[in-house]
């Protein structure tokens, strides 16, 4: 992990009762209109696990216990945002029953789907590569470099791992 990069998080939420995946349509900011996983920027003094829990609560209205989140991936993204920017993303899986229905917030509109019917045409171009791995709980490390259009990938590299040490 490169600690000099902007640190971010994503969480893939899988309902074990019916196998559906909870994603959200981004309502504002970078990536508005796209369907994506819940997550956001790590605040100063915050670790990735605390960030993903906070961001999921803010964006879904649901609070999950810390043990609900298991780190499954690390992604380095290079994308054109205010000039080219590279950031580091910690990816988590939460495969637990939710304590209620997620609500629409200023950031996200909940979007449930089946793992075999992910809305890939409405998602970032990197999702087909890492999202199925995360849903299976397969640890991975990846790098995605986008073209300036922020829609197509210039290159990517993905490596499967045995696991992650606790952060």
Task: Give the count of beta carbons closer than 10 Å to the beta carbon of residue 146.
Answer: 21
Q: What is the mean pLDDT of residues 79-88?
A: 82
Output the pLDDT for position 2: 61
Specify the pLDDT at position 42: 97
How confident is the model at residue 80, as a pLDDT? 77
53 part of a folded domain: yes
* Three-class SS state of 106: coil
Buried b (16+ CB within 10 A) or exposed e, 20-34: ebbbbbbeeeeeeeb
Domain assignment present for 165: no
148 pLDDT band, cuts 50/70/90, is confident
Q: What is the pLDDT of residues 26-74, one digit of tens each?
A: 999 888 999 999 999 999 999 999 999 999 999 999 999 999 999 999 9
Q: Which residues contact 160 (CB under 8 A, 6 or more apart)?
A: 133, 138, 139, 140
167 belongs to a structural domain: no
pLDDT score, position 165: 73
pLDDT the model gives residue 67: 97
Whether the CB-CB separation of 48 and 8 falls below 8 Å is answered with: no
Does residue 110 lie in a domain region? yes
**Segments forming the whole domain that contains residue 145:** 6-160
Report pLDDT digits (tens) over 126-138: 999 999 999 999 9
As a whole number, the mean pLDDT across the chain is 94
Q: Is residue 136 part of a domain?
A: yes
Which pLDDT does position 1 carry in this prediction? Answer: 59
- Position 1 in a domain: no
Average pLDDT on 114-121 reads: 96
Q: Residue 38 pairs with which residues in a beta bridge?
A: 11
Between the alpha carbon of residue 102 and those of residues 29, 120, 122, 162, the distances in Å are: 20, 21, 20, 32
- pTM (two decimals): 0.95
Q: Does 44 reside within a domain?
A: yes
Strand locations in 15-116 (E): 21-26, 35-36, 38-41, 70-80, 84-94, 108-113
Count of domains in the chain? 1
Work out the average pLDDT over 75-88: 86
How many Cα atoms within 13 Å fall on the side-chain side of residue 133?
Answer: 23
Give a yes or no: residue 103 inside a domain. yes
**Cα atoms in the 13 Å half-sphere on the side-chain side of 44:** 0
The domain that holds 109 is classified in CATH as 3.90.79.10
């Amino acid at each position: 992990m490169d600690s000099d990069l902007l640190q971010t998080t994503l969480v893939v939420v899988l309902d074990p009762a019916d196998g559906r995946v909870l994603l959200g349509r981004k309502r504002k900011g970078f990536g508005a209109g796209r369907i994506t996983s819940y997550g956001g920027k790590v605040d100063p003094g915050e670790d990735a696990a605390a960030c993903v829990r906070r961001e999921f609560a803010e964006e879904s209205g649901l609070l999950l216990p810390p043990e609900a989140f298991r780190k499954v991936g690390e992604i380095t993204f290079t994308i054109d945002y205010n000039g080219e920017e590279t950031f580091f993303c910690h990816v988590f899986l939460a495969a637990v029953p939710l304590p209620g229905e997620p609500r629409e917030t200023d950031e996200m509109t909940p979007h449930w789907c089946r793992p075999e019917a992910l809305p890939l045409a409405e998602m970032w171009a990197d999702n087909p590569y890492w999202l199925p791995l995360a849903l299976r709980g397969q640890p991975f490390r990846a790098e995605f470099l986008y073209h300036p259009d922020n829609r197509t990938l210039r290159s990517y590299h993905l490596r499967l791992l045995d696991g992650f040490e606790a952060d």
